[in-house]
């Protein structure tokens, strides 16, 4: 990957999309992770720090120190809006207290808050999903998958690390274990069952047309089960990457 050309391309993309929408800028959730930090950096490069609004959206009362570090590094103003109480009320109404459905409620509540802010201030919502997450469906539909633009949506996770180092993001953010932090002890790689470097090799093979788990396993140096699991994940999450299917009239 040519880092300079990639940065130039993404920065131009952000400028064009905000300009076409006649928006004042972008708003994004600042989680303290590498993806939102990189998106924030690219948006600031494209629009200037005055036109990038960050939101801290903790599921409890406290904003984590990494989120504050990212906002300080980007020189952007960030509001803290705790979403925990609202999420608990929805969970009580629906009985969705298990980790996965409750985690999805949190992700969707963050989307609601981001869009409320965007609507109020004539801004676009900048998504923070990378290509590895998108191809595996490792995001919440109408949650963190709900946005107006995806600046790093064509970057695999390993590309994200490379670009973050190129742009000199804080080392502690780059080295942080990837996690959506939707429940205690949750990490991306633990849930996916494979490291991101191995996952990206698998996804590139699938993108090139590989569909045989044995072949993919040998190339990525993973077990056949891991290769088959990722193939299945790619297939069954296809609906997350498309608009909802429309039933056509029978006449």
Give Rg (Cα) of the chain.
Answer: 19
What residues are paired with 54 via a beta bridge?
A: 28, 78
Range with lowest mean pLDDT among 143-157, 167-181, 222-236: 167-181
- Which pLDDT band holds residue 102 (cuts at 50, 70, 90)? very high
Of residues 133, 172, 126, the one with CA closest to residue 26: 126
Range with lowest mean pLDDT among 35-44, 47-56, 170-179: 170-179
- What is the pTM for the complete model shown? 0.94
- Which pLDDT band holds residue 191 (cuts at 50, 70, 90)? confident
Residues in the chain, total: 251
Task: Please state, in angstroms and as integers, the Cα–Cα distance from residue 7 to each residue in 4, 30, 39, following that order.
Answer: 5, 20, 11
More confident residue, 187 or 2: 2
Question: Is 70 a residue whose pLDDT tops 80?
Answer: yes
Of residues 206, 161, 207, the one with CA closest to residue 188: 161
- Per the CB < 8 A criterion, the answer to whether 199 and 206 are in contact is no
CA–centroid distance for 25 within its chain: 19
Give the pLDDT of residue 251: 65
HEC string of 3-34 equals HHHHHHHHHHHHHHHHHHCCCCEEEEECCCCH
Task: Please state, in angstroms and as integers, the Cα–Cα distance from residue 200 to each residue in 19, 127, 159, following that order.
Answer: 33, 20, 9
Of residues 153, 138, 167, the one with CA closest to residue 70: 167
- Which pLDDT band holds residue 180 (cuts at 50, 70, 90)? confident
Q: Which residues are catalytic?
A: 35, 133
| DSSP output for 54-108 | EEE--SSSPPPHHHHHHHHHHT--EEE---HHHHHHHHHHHT--SHHHHHHHHHH
- Per the CB < 8 A criterion, the answer to whether 7 and 38 are in contact is no
């Amino acid at each position: 990957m040519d880092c300079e050309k990639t940065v130039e391309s993404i920065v131009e993309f952000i400028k064009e999309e905000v300009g076409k929408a006649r928006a004042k800028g972008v708003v994004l959730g600042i989680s303290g992770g590498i993806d939102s930090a990189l998106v924030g950096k690219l948006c600031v490069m494209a629009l200037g720090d005055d036109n990038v609004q960050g939101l801290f959206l903790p599921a409890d009362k406290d904003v984590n120190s990494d989120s504050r570090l990212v906002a300080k590094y980007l020189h952007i103003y960030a509001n803290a809006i705790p979403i925990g109480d609202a999420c608990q009320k929805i969970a009580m109404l629906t009985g969705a207290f298990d980790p996965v459905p409750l985690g999805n409620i949190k992700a969707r509540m963050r989307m609601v808050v981001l869009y409320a802010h965007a609507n109020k201030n004539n801004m676009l919502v900048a998504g923070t999903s990378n290509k590895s997450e998108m191809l595996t469906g490792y995001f919440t539909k109408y949650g963190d998958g709900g946005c107006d633009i995806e600046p790093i949506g064509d970057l695999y996770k390993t590309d994200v690390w490379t670009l973050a180092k190129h742009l000199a993001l804080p080392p502690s953010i780059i080295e942080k274990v990837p996690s959506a932090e939707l429940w205690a002890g949750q990490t991306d790689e633990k849930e996916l069952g494979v490291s991101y470097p191995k996952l990206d090799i698998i996804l590139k093979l699938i993108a090139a047309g590989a569909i045989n788990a044995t072949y993919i396993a040998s190339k990525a140096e993973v077990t056949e089960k891991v290769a088959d699991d990722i193939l299945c994940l790619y297939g069954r999450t296809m609906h997350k990457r498309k608009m909802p299917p429309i039933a056509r009239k029978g006449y």
